[in-house]
A = this chain, B = another copy of it.
Amino acid sequence: MGEGAKPAHAAPQPAREEWRSISDLAQEFGVTARTLRFYEDEGLLRPVRRGTTRLYSRADRARLAWILRGRNVGFSLADIRELLDLYAPGPGRRTQLKAALAKSRERIAALEAQKADIEATIAELEQFCRRLEAEQARLAPGPAAAAGET
């Protein structure tokens, strides 16, 4: 360990924040800087600025991870924004609570269905793989070993 020189009296803050530039963050998450700026325009991220330059905190990174997971499960960016907004400020009013609860449950139901579809697709692909393997085995030792295996 011990990457680089540190000032002797270190660590006043409990969490060291470790800010990232946009290109660092992009590389870290396997996206482009364009994508991060786009997400900011869409209201999904709000990095702080030093001058005009964006700086991403740990919270921003966690948020980005959430966003990318949402994207990977098929959420639109609007969906993701809605869920993040839902998540963020514990909504005080009861009607809002009910609405948030309903939306969350809808999402959950849709995700369960999607999960079922994924499992079905995996099952079919695996069966297909087994068929291919059988075919492969049928071809290799079958025709009296025509081509040489050295």
Contact = CB atoms under 8 A, between A and B. Distances in A.
Interface of A: 69-70, 72-74, 86-87, 90, 94, 97-98, 100-101, 104-105, 107-108, 111-115, 117-122, 125-126, 128-129, 131-133, 135-136, 139-140
Given A90-B135, A97-B135, A118 B129 contact: no
Nearest to A122: B111
B115 A119 contact: yes
B125 A94 contact: no
A90 B131 CA distance: 9
A107 B126 CA distance: 10
Given A90-B135, A136-B101, A118 B108 contact: no
Given A73-B117, A73-B118, A115-B119, A107 B133 contact: no
B108 A73 contact: no
8 contacts: A72-B114, A73-B74, A86-B128, A90-B131, A97-B139, A101-B132, A115-B115, A115-B118
B126 A108 contact: yes
A107 B132 CA distance: 15
Contact of A69 (B104, B121, B132): B121
A130 to B, nearest CB: 10
